[in-house]
Amino acid sequence: MEVIKGVLKNRYSSQRDFQEIISQIMNDSDVRDFVTQYQKVLTDDIIKNSYSQFLEYIDEKKRVSETGYSSNRGFVPKLKFCQTYVEVAYVPTDAFLKKQARQKIKDRIQTLEMPEDIKNYTFEDVEGTKERLEAFAYLVDFCDAEDSTDKKGAYLYGSYGVGKTYLFGALASELAQKGVSSYLAHFPSLVVSLKSAIADNSVVQKINFIKESQVLLLDDIGGESLTPWVRDDILMVILDYRMRYNLPTFFTSNLTFEQLEEHFKGTTIEDERKAKRLMERVRALSVPIRVGGENRRK
Ligand code: ADP
Ligand code: MG
């Protein structure tokens, strides 16, 4: 008690100030309610020993009403009785909890070199123009399925700027709302990043992460610069795994299946065979759907 008195006295130099602050504390309506609520157990000693907590509570409350925040942003002060002493607890605000919940949903989406705001897209924002209705309906169906992980993915193809990547983002966000996590990668950039992972020996680890993701969305496949390594040691490894374990896999591309196979083909017979085997995986994993319309990228 003497220590607390000392602290308060330092702050309020004269005895008069000290008395004033005590009466200010004890007249605060929340403090009074608190004291009334716990009157059976709150002894005079506990009350006296709690002046600095009451004061902290009042100061913080004032700060919230003046600035909208306590010094503990996202939390508001609350008096708490702990058997033999009083404490100022900080409880999260509704806004803080909501923000945290939104963040938790966004954290289910991992991306590599995708547009900044992709996690904010929703099905509601998608304009269902005729040329993209089929793709859109397929994605909505996929999302609505009892067990999304049971369904085949889609291969959205069509020219540049028609909204394929946008649809991907919306799908990932909707899945995240349902608790499903996904990995979205711009495939040409993924290839570059895997190439640079050779130096620190992390290629295998990175591929394992990608191939095991709950839902995989590879954006712009066919846009990468293809080497046998990309085809046989990256794509084949990922897609073969996903096919064997029945893991939903989506693609977007500017190329049709036929053009993609052509892209995978090298010059030798052996290359041709490998391109065919890879295409078998792509076909097994996804339903091809054309997306049309005008180029929205102006
Ligand atoms: P693609 O992947 O087919 O090349 P994008 O998905 O990148 O096309 O879309 C091109 C542009 O149009 C982007 O800037 C994107 O944000 C915008 N866009 C696409 N679909 C929609 C939509 N439904 N509503 C609003 N903007 C969209
Ligand atoms: Mg795109």
- pLDDT tens digits along 179-192: 999 999 999 999 99
Kindly list the averaged pLDDT for each block of 10 residues, start to end, along the chain of length 298.
56 74 93 95 93 95 93 94 94 94 94 91 86 93 81 94 94 94 96 93 94 96 94 96 96 97 88 94 97 84
126 Cα nearest atom in ligand 1? 23
- What the block records as the tokens of 147 is 């067990």
pLDDT at 3: 52
Q: Is the CB of 165 under 6 A from ligand 1?
A: yes
Q: Whose CA is nearest to atom 4 of ligand 1?
A: 161
Ligand nearest to the CA of 124: 1
Q: What is the pTM of this model?
A: 0.81
Contact between 211 and 241 (Cβ < 8 Å):
yes
- What the block records as the tokens of 184 is 């979205």
- List CB contacts of 15: < 8 A, sequence separation 6 or more: 9
CA distance 133 to 276: 30
- Listed in order, strand segments (DSSP E) in the chain are 75-82, 85-92, 109-112, 153-157, 182-186, 215-219, 249-253, 286-290
CA distance 244 to 285: 10
- What the block records as the tokens of 182 is 């996904």
Quick one: which H or E segment has residue 207?
helix 203-211
Locate tokens 């605000």: which residue? 93
pLDDT at 17: 83
- List CB contacts of 56: < 8 A, sequence separation 6 or more: 77, 88
CA distance 297 to 290: 18
- pLDDT tens digits along 6-56: 555 566 566 778 888 899 999 999 999 999 999 999 999 999 999 999 999
Contact between 154 and 250 (Cβ < 8 Å):
yes
Q: Is the CB of 168 under 6 A from ligand 1?
A: no
Ligand nearest to the CA of 298: 1
Q: Crossing angle of helices 269-285/236-244, nearest 10°?
A: 40
Largest CA distance in the chain: 98
Q: Is 122 helix (H, G, I), strand (E, B) or coil?
A: coil
Residue among 127, 136, 166 whose CB has most ligand 1 atoms within 8 A, to mutate = 166
Distance linking the first and last C-alpha atoms of the chain: 72
Q: Is the CB of 166 under 6 A from ligand 1?
A: yes
pLDDT at 11: 60
Nearest Cα neighbor of 55 from 29, 84, 88, 33 is 88
CA distance 76 to 61: 8
How far out from the chain centre does Cα 183 lie?
11
- Give 196: exposed, middle or buried? Use CB within 10 Å, 0-12, 13-18, 19+: exposed
Q: Is the CB of 148 under 6 A from ligand 1?
A: no
Backbone phi, then psi, for 178, in 5-degree steps? -85, 0
Report how far apart, in Å, the C-alpha atoms of 7 and of each of 25, 45, 215 are: 15, 17, 59
